């Protein structure tokens, strides 16, 4: 392993991670997930998910592909066109982009809904508190009621809010497990998935698969949404129509297989 791949000594706060470190994003996300586990918001399995994501990101050169940027623009257009958009939050999302996801929700007037694979009341509360600390309005966080169920999905993972994900027309589900992504797809919702693995079932069933690191993707969707905020619905529809999910998945897979780290 070359020197630049070696992590610096343990840091107590993410501000201590040197911003010019060649693997800065990886060190930052790793630190945030670790802090999330310590705070009780991220499940230990979130560390495995993070490790997988980080390997794919390394092969993508830790940068946003042009097709991922197109996906992020299409996601912004879908969210702006939606009647009832919802952004789904799990333990990794809450740890990695708490402030950024709150800003995106405000920008596109979406609800935030906590929706966990490993659901416990303690984690739900801890994540809701964490989102409030990052600017979410106390009354606007959904997922605490869990008074509806997604069909064809077992136990805790199926729980959603009747006036949240269940009623949504457009749902953003970052770092999602494949079964739930499929269940949402079967309900006919427009699904935006953020996942660094283009071969995972979640991006495969998505209307808009964003193969990018969530720490780059969410702020970029917000930037596109701000730019498109005054666009006519017809122009937003044109952005949606011009995006090809199969091309985006194929480009990401090709890039990962080539492993063109230094391009």
Report the interface residues with ligand PTJ, using CB under 6 A.
29, 43, 45-46, 49-50, 52-53, 56, 90-92, 96, 116-118, 175, 177, 194-197, 200, 213-214
- Which of residues 123 and 189 has its CB atom nearest to ligand PTJ in the complex? 123
Rounded Cα gap, residues 246 and 156, in angstroms: 31
Q: Are 218 and 104 in contact (CB under 8 A)?
A: yes
Residue 229 CB, shortest distance to ligand PTJ, in Å, is 25
- Which of residues 39 and 52 has its CB atom nearest to ligand PTJ in the complex? 52
Kindly give, in sequence order, each residue whose CB lies less than 8 Å from that of residue 261, ignoring residues fewer than 6 positions away: 58, 59, 61
Rounded Cα gap, residues 54 and 229, in angstroms: 32
The Cα angle at residue 260 between residues 211 and 52, in degrees rounded to 5: 45
- Which of residues 196 and 249 has its CB atom nearest to ligand PTJ in the complex? 196
- Which of residues 39 and 45 has its CB atom nearest to ligand PTJ in the complex? 45
Q: Compute how many other C-beta atoms are within 10 angstroms of the C-beta atom of residue 100.
A: 20
- Which of residues 81 and 102 has its CB atom nearest to ligand PTJ in the complex? 102
CA quadruple 50, 56, 62, 68: dihedral sign: negative
In the bound complex, which residue of the shown chain has the CB atom lying closest to ligand PTJ?
Answer: 53
Residue 167 CB, shortest distance to ligand PTJ, in Å, is 21
Q: Which residues of 78-93 are buried (b: 16+ CB within 10 A; e: fewer)?
A: bbbbbebbbbbbbbbb
């Amino acid at each position: 392993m070359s020197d630049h791949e070696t992590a610096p000594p343990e840091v107590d706060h993410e501000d201590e991670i040197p911003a010019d470190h060649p693997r800065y994003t990886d060190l930052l996300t790793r630190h945030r997930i670790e802090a999330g586990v310590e705070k009780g918001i991220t499940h230990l399995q979130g560390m495995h998910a993070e490790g997988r994501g980080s390997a794919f990101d390394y092969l993508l050169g830790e940068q946003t592909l042009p097709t991922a940027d197109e996906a992020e623009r299409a996601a912004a257009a879908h969210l702006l066109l939606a009647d009832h958009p919802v952004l789904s939050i799990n333990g990794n999302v809450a740890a990695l982009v708490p402030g950024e996801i709150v800003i995106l929700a405000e920008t596109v007037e979406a609800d935030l809904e906590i929706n966990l694979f490993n659901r416990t009341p303690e984690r739900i509360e801890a994540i809701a508190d964490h989102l409030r600390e990052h600017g979410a309005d106390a009354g606007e966080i959904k997922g605490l009621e869990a008074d509806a169920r997604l069909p064809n999905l077992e136990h805790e993972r199926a729980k959603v809010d009747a006036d949240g994900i269940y009623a949504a027309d457009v749902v953003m589900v970052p770092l999602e497990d494949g079964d739930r992504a499929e269940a949402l797809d079967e309900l006919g919702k427009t699904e935006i998935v953020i996942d660094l693995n283009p071969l995972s079932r979640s991006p495969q069933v998505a209307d808009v698969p964003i193969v990018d690191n969530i720490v780059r993707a969410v702020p970029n969707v917000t930037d596109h949404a701000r730019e498109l905020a005054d666009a006519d619905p017809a122009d937003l529809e044109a952005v949606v129509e011009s995006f090809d999910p199969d091309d985006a998945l194929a480009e990401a897979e090709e890039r990962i297989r080539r492993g063109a780290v230094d391009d």
